[in-house]
Every structure is written in C-alpha cells, then in structure tokens.
Chain A
Amino acid sequence: MGRPYGLLRAGFPFLKTLGMRRLTNFPVDIALGAEGRMYILCRQEGAALVRKYSFDDEDGGNFGSVGEDDGQFQWPVSIIADSEENIYVSDEALHRISSFNSEGEFLASFGEFDSGPGQLNRPAGMAFDADENIYIADSMNHRIQKFTKDEKFILGWGGSGDGDGQLDMPWGITVDELGDVYVADWRNDRVQKFNAHGEFIMKFGSSGSANGEFNRPTDVAVDLDGDIYVCDRGNNRVQLFNAHGRYVEKFIGDATLSRVAREYMMTNASPNRIRDMSVLEPQKLLRQPKSIAVDAEGHLFITDTGSYRVQVYQKEAIHLEPHQFAPPMRSVTLHQE
C-alpha cells in the first residue's frame, strides 16, 4: 500500500499515558515490538536500563545496568528493535552499540572511538531501513553512518556545518518506508532529509519557538502517510509536518494518570491530598520530551522524559482518492465552497 493521494485529517486525540516515576524513570527512547510490546530506555546519572513494557501499561521487568562491561550502559541514547525483536542500544559515553535478544540477554557490541570511516564519536540516534541496515547519527563526528546488521560499514555522509547536507551534532534519525533518511540536526535546529545514498533532498525548520521552528530537536519519525513528527525538546513539544515539511499541528501534552499511577495513588494518602491542593494543568504537559515513535496503527508515542512517562496519541486520518481531493492550488483563497 503506497502513500495516500490526500489526507482528511479528522483528529489526533490523546489516547493514554504509560508508566510513572520509579517504573519508567527518565525515559529517553522507546522501541516498539509486536503485539503491544515495547522497550523503554531509561537513563539518568548513575542509572540506566531497558524497561520491558506493554501497551496495556504493564511492567515486564528490565535489563541492563550502569557500567562498561558487556550488556551495560553508561549514557545510552537510542533504542531500536529489528524484525526478530532483537534490541540495539547506542551509548554515547562508550561509543558503542550493544545488542540483546528480546529477553534482554546480551548478544554483541560494536563500535570504536575515533573519526575514521566506521568509527564513532558519541553515537546517538539509530534507525533500521527495510533491509535492516543500521543508520547511526554519529553526533560528535557530525555525520551519518550506515552499517549492515553484522557491523560492516557501508557509507557515511555529513560533516560539521550548517550548509545543505552538513550537520551539527545530529541526534535522532529515522528511515521511511521508501528508504529516505530524516535527521534531527540538533544544533542547527532543523530537520534534513536524504536519500539512501546520503544525497540531500530537503530541509525545514529554524531556531525559535513559533510554529515550525525548533529549539534543539532531538528526534524525528515518519508514519506511513509520509507525515513527519519532530521532537522539539527545548520547546517541550512535538510538531507534526506533512511530507513536504509544511507545519500542520503540535502536541504539547495531555497526560492523564496512567493505570500504574492510579494504582499507586490509591494507596498513598499524602500525595492525594497534595494533588487536591494543587493546580493540575502543568501535569498534562510534556517536559523535555526526548524521542518519538509511530506505528502502523497511527499511534504516536512520546517519551515525556521529565515526567517519567510516555504519552500516546491516536492519529485519525482518512485516505482520499483524487476525486475527493482537489489538485494543488497555486494561490491561497478566501473563496470557500
């Protein structure tokens, strides 16, 4: 199924909240598995782990710990899952990628610190393409590198700067179903799009807090309609753009209490009283969100890092055929039919 000719955007309501403090502490990234399984990467100073979780807000245990040995993390940044649900985690302090099976058993790691081809300096975001090659945002080398799943270097592009195709500490990265690559060009406050060979296609965004502007974007995701989501961490929001990079709308947070949070509150009298004394509006909002993920069902997952949870939205869009969607118009109009 290809991309739709047009979209009737019916809505994008908030769906649910997942996780809470202690369970999903400082979630920095999320990988989606089959049947509602998910793997939430949690990182703070002195603690790092992967929380196995479910779409039903159920804890499935965790794996990983702080350290430098096999299977340990120092400063993990990104987590992705392959088709067999093996898990890959990048670590910007150890300059390596570690892999685990879905049970959390350590499989292997690769990565060597430096700036030569195939070497890494603070690897950040990662993404698989359809052939399960891995793209890595090699942040302090200001480039993107592509590897086979068995660690063979394929190609790299970028270089420090703010020109087209240049990067300044790239963070998040994603690959759409057509094989094109999107990069959250963190310190340039923009998103760049490349083809699978690293050739520049387009860019959008600039520094600021208005619609379509960014304050240090940390992640990017693309759904099957070609819509582009950008995690605009410094502005505490996620912005949605169409496939051409035109701003559509933003998500600032609508959280409710998750199932696990409600269970916790039922047995804790003091927080209930304090909550009753306070204004709850801020509790809905995103705080320093770091990453996003989308699935084929139209779910948008946002790791709400500063509030120890994941916020989930549900896209409601109807695909339009050419007879339902007028041809592109060169000019705007006040004439409404």
Chain B
Amino acid sequence: MALFWHHVFATGLAKNEHILSASIQLEMFRRNGMSDMRTILLDLSRDPAMIFWLDNNENHNGEPNENYGRELLELFSLGVGNYTEIDIKNAARAFTGWTFAQSPPLYPHGYYASEFLFDADDHDNGEKEFLGHRGNLDGGDIIDIIVEQRSCARFVSRHLYNFFVADEPQVPTWNDLPPLDPALIEDMSDAFLDSDGQIKPVLRVMFNSDSFREARFKKVKSPVELVLGVLKMVSTHDYFHPGLAKYAESVMVVMGQKLLDPPTVEGWHTGKEWIDGGNLTERVNFAVGEVGDGSSPGIKQIVDRMIESDSLTSHGSFVDAALDAMGPIDVEDPTREALVQFAARSEGDDDRSRAVRMIRLIVATPEYQYA
C-alpha cells in the first residue's frame, strides 16, 4: 500500500532534495496506508515532505499559496469537476500556518527529520465556505468534509481499481471518461462511505469482485512491478549483497520510473503509457538478461521443476511446464504456439540449456508485460 499511496500522493525528491523526509513519508504510508482516508489525508497534510513539495510552508495568513489546497482537491481526493475555484481558495486559507519546524542543515552532520508545526499566528481564522459548509474552518475541517463526499469515495476507489485490477485512463480524464467498471466503483464507494472512509472494506469489495477475478492482461506492469517480479523469480537477491540499489537507481529509471521522484505532482502515467519503443526494449532486455543465467537459484529451481515434471515428453507439455513453474503465467494461443514451435526446433539440445532458453522467450512475450 505504500507504493500505491506513493503513486497517488506523488512527492518529488528533485525538488525536496531531502532523502530523510522522503523516507519518513514512505514510513507514514506503511503505517497508515490501510487505515482510513481521514487519517491518511491528515497525516499527509502534516507531512514535511508534502508541505515543502506543494509549498504549504509558504501558505501564510493574508498571503495564501493555493498549491496544496488545489492539489489536495484535484489530485489527492476529489478530482476535477467536484469543487470550485472558491473551494480551492478557502481550502488554502484553512491550511495556512500548517508548516514544519526548521531542521538543522545537511552540513556538517547530515539530514535531520523535520516535524510538523502549526503556527497559530500564521493561521487564517476568518470565516470560509467550502463545499457548502461555512465557518472558521481549519485543515482538519476541510478533510472531514472531503471524506464525506461521494466524489472522494469514487476517486479513491478508482485509484485502487487502477492499481490492482485494470488500467484506467489517466487521472486528468476521469471527469470526462467513465470508469471501466462503474458498478464496481459504486459498490466500492458505498463501502467507503458506509465505513467512514476505511480502506479495508473498500479493498474487500474490490478483491471479491468479478472484475478482479477475471482480470487478465488488463494491467501493464509498472517498472517497479516488472523488476521486482523478475528479481523474485531469479532469487539472486534473497539476501542483501552489492548491486541491489542499481535496480532502483538506474534499471527502473530507464524504464520510466524513478521511485521517490515522480515526474510531476500528477504522478506517473500508468497503463500503456509505461511502454514506448525505447523502454519496451529496456524492459525485455532486462528480463531476458536476468533469467538467462541458468545458475541463479530461482532459474535453477524452475528448470529442475520443468525437468522433474516429465514435461519433455511433448513440446506442448514442455511449454506448459515452463509457464506453470514461472508463475503460473497465462499466454494467448498464438504466443503459446510460437513457444511450442521453439520447443520443437530445440529438441535434442541439452535439456537445461533448452529450458533456460524457453524461460527467456517467455519473459520476452507481450503477455509478460502485463500483471
């Protein structure tokens, strides 16, 4: 769930340049990611990394900065079309004075954590109107009102669906394009509103849905999902040893995803936008390269299973044994036929070498790009 919320509440290291705050934000997502939307948004609004990322430290009484107020409504909770410009201005006023205490500088002794600070002297105590509510509203009141909105329930549900079930269009289009499964989104939204914004009941509805059960080739793997899936399969990093960092620092980056540093506050565009001619090559080459070492523990185990299963009796069973041992992985019929043809062509070759080449072919298939 930390990765999910990192997608939604995209916060960039390129601006913040404070790795400790980024780490603390991720810890926050691990801690509260399965709680309720009010807690999540309240913690987020008090998080120094987010405050600095969206300039709320510059949101002063009498001199509001609307950046956080705007993105809170547009990208973090309601979505375009579910609020007015007046709501944005008043949300910004409600969050004046929500800042953080200055932490010591990087030099000479490294990063120190910043902590949330409510500066009462810098808070706008005037009357504000927000989504039909009027009063001396502060940030907590704004969040309370947001979490009561059906638009918030739909927004969160659609994000969850996009992350776990199938690729939705990009977030900015959600006001114009309906969800892929409108009925499920409404059921999830009911669960959200009935539980006062709890995340677990929403997930329960989603994971028990037909859409989730039938999801197949509906979601392009993000670079993180692709890389971690391959690394788990080859099992070369079950224990820490040098080289693991490169996957996050360079391999995923060339595929278009630099963790902790999304391109904009909108986060990463997902689905088919993960793939273009250049990074498809990177994705395939990476997977083929990693699984090509027949001595890696995971591949050795898969090959052992293939050979022990008597799969060599026919070309089709050889392919099926490989797909089963690697996942299982589903492939379309034309793909399976191509794999069977390879099995036929390689008959007579060394069994282990042949099995490794089959695994390399499978991770190069279009289906392997999907979750």
Contacts and interface: CB of A to CB of B under 8 A. Distances in A.
Interface stretch (A127-135, A171-179, A194-202, A260-268): A260-268
Given A74-B242, A75-B242, A93-B242, A278 B107 contact: no
Contacts of B242: 74-75, 93
B208 interface: no
Contact of A280 (B104, B107, B110, B113): B104
Interface string A42-75: 0001100000000000000000000000000011
Nearest to B114: A278
A330 interface: no
A255 interface: yes
Contacts of A282: 104, 112-113
B105 A274 contact: yes
A274 B109 contact: no
A4 interface: no
Interface in A270-324: 270-271, 274-275, 277-280, 282-283, 287, 306-309
Contacts of A270: 105
Given A45-B245, A75-B242, A93-B242, A21 B109 contact: yes
A7 interface: no
A274 B110 contact: no
Nearest to A92: B241
Contacts of A261: 107-109
B109 A283 contact: yes
Contact of A264 (B103, B107, B241, B245): B107
Contacts of B35: none
Interface string B73-109: 0000000000000000000000000000111111111
Contacts of B106: 21, 271
A42 B102 CA distance: 29
A228 B73 CA distance: 57
A202 B101 CA distance: 47
A307 B105 contact: no
Contacts of A271: 105-108
B105 A275 contact: yes
Given A74-B242, A93-B241, A282-B112, A20 B101 contact: no
A283 B104 contact: yes
Contacts of A20: 107-109
A257 interface: yes
Given A74-B242, A93-B241, A93-B242, A257 B105 contact: no
A260 to B, nearest CB: 8
A278 B109 contact: no
B110 A278 contact: no
Contact of A279 (B101, B110, B241): B101
A282 B113 CA distance: 9
Contacts of A265: 107-108
A264 B105 CA distance: 13
Given A74-B242, A93-B242, A257 B102 contact: no
Most buried by A among B105, B106, B107, B108: B108
A307 B110 contact: yes
A74 B106 CA distance: 26
A309 B108 CA distance: 9
A284 B103 CA distance: 13
Contacts of A119: none
A109 interface: no
A258 interface: yes
B110 A21 contact: yes
A265 B241 CA distance: 37
A283 B105 CA distance: 10
A257 B104 CA distance: 13
Interface in A243-268: 255, 257-258, 260-261, 264-265, 268
A309 B109 contact: yes
A278 B113 CA distance: 11
Interface in B106-160: 106-110, 112-113
A264 B104 contact: no
Contacts of B105: 270-271, 274-275, 278
Contacts of B109: 20-21, 255, 261, 283, 307-309
B110 to A, nearest CB: 5
Given A45-B245, A75-B242, A93-B242, A21 B104 contact: no
A282 B112 CA distance: 8
A308 B102 contact: no
Contact of B102 (A260, A274, A307): A274
6 contacts: A20-B109, A258-B108, A261-B107, A280-B104, A282-B113, A309-B109
Interface of B: 101-110, 112-113, 241-242, 245
Given A275-B105, A278-B104, A280-B104, 10 more contacts: A21-B106, A21-B109, A93-B241, A255-B109, A257-B108, A265-B108, A278-B112, A279-B101, A306-B110, A309-B108
Interface of A: 20-21, 45-46, 74-75, 93, 255, 257-258, 260-261, 264-265, 268, 270-271, 274-275, 277-280, 282-283, 287, 306-309
The 4 closest A-B pairs by CB, nearest first: A261-B108, A20-B108, A271-B105, A277-B102
